[in-house]
């Protein structure tokens, strides 16, 4: 134990027991977070089970099986923000208290969820939802990028952090009252900086929390216009 650890012992944000390595969540609390067992419609939040082919291999749901066929993405949300105090404590620590170490267990949680869903993610490119340059500098890190790095390491998938760029500094979505205001707030806020990476690719957007889904929908639309074959979004929690 270093002198620094002695002064500021790292504790689990949920149960306050000592946690190693500044990860913010102890292994017991991480394991206690219930994971979802299906995909979610990005529009109405309806449950969409992962179908299997005749040989029993999981595959992506066809449009026919999706309630809102023209919505730009399917959502893979690992858990529900309301379901468990540990997930609320961890997300709050990452997003508002800027405890960057929490991204690692949360990224592991997201990867475990994708693995357990048996979703075919081979060939997908991971794209974290970017922050504007000003906001990233102010925060010191982009939490979606840290999550993306953890998921990439766990699942062995490539990560592109410079494909999508956030061009404005509109107010954070969490400060806006309703879905309509949030949708308008993000319109035109993303640009595809590396169109050659997006064209004909399958892309999995990564973010920490989704509330109205407006940010993910805007990012997915921009990527689809750039020629992406399929866009899905993997988030730690759905609020």
Nearer to Zn ion, 20 or 196 (CB): 20
Nearer to Zn ion, 41 or 91 (CB): 41
Q: Rounded to whole angstroms, how far apart are CA atoms 32 and 86?
A: 8
Could you tell me the smallest distance in angstroms from the CB atom of residue 127 to Zn ion? 23
DSSP letter at 50?
P
Could you tell me the smallest distance in angstroms from the CB atom of residue 90 to Zn ion? 10
Taking CA atoms, 152 is separated from 1, 40, 42, in Å, by 30, 22, 23
Nearer to Zn ion, 47 or 225 (CB): 47
Asked whether the beta carbons of 68 and 143 are under 8 A apart, the reply is: no
Residues at the contact surface with Zn ion, assessed by CB under 5 A: 12, 14-15, 26, 29, 41, 43-44, 46, 67-68
Q: Rounded to whole angstroms, how far apart are CA atoms 130 and 223?
A: 13
For residues 13, 169, 159 and 211, what is the CA-based torsion angle, rounded to 10 degrees?
50
231 half-sphere exposure, CB direction, 13 A CA radius: 26
Could you tell me the smallest distance in angstroms from the CB atom of residue 204 to Zn ion? 19
Nearer to Zn ion, 37 or 169 (CB): 37
Nearer to Zn ion, 43 or 207 (CB): 43
Could you tell me the smallest distance in angstroms from the CB atom of residue 88 to Zn ion? 13
Greatest CA separation found in the chain? 59
Beta bridge partners, 58, equal 52
Q: Rounded to whole angstroms, how far apart are CA atoms 4 and 58?
A: 47
User: Quick check: helix, strand or coil at residue 210?
Assistant: strand
Nearer to Zn ion, 12 or 109 (CB): 12
Could you tell me the smallest distance in angstroms from the CB atom of residue 45 to Zn ion? 7
Could you tell me the smallest distance in angstroms from the CB atom of residue 84 to Zn ion? 11
- Can you tell me which residue has the tokens 């979505």? 173
């Amino acid at each position: 134990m270093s002198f620094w650890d002695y002064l500021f012992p790292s504790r689990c944000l949920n149960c306050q027991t000592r946690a190693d390595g500044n990860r913010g969540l102890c292994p017991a609390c991480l394991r206690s977070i219930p994971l979802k067992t299906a995909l979610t419609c990005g529009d109405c939040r309806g449950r969409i089970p992962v179908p299997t082919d005749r040989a029993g291999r999981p595959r992506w749901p066809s449009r026919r099986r999706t309630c809102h066929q023209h919505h730009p993405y399917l959502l893979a949300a690992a858990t529900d923000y309301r379901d468990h105090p540990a997930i609320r404590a961890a997300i709050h620590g990452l997003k508002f208290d800027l405890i960057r170490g929490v991204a690692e267990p949360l990224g592991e949680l997201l990867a475990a969820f994708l693995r357990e869903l048996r979703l075919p993610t081979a060939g997908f490119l991971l794209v974290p939802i970017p922050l504007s340059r000003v906001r990233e500098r102010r925060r010191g890190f982009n939490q979606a990028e840290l999550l993306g790095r953890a998921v990439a390491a766990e699942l062995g998938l490539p990560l592109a952090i410079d494909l999508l760029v956030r061009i404005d500094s509109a107010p954070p979505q969490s400060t806006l009252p309703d879905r309509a205001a949030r949708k308008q707030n993000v319109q035109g806020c993303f640009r595809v900086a590396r169109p050659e990476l997006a064209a004909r690719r399958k892309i999995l957007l990564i973010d920490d929390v989704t509330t109205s889904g407006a940010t993910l929908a805007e990012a997915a639309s921009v990527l689809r216009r750039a020629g992406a074959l399929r866009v899905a979004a993997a988030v730690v929690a759905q609020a």
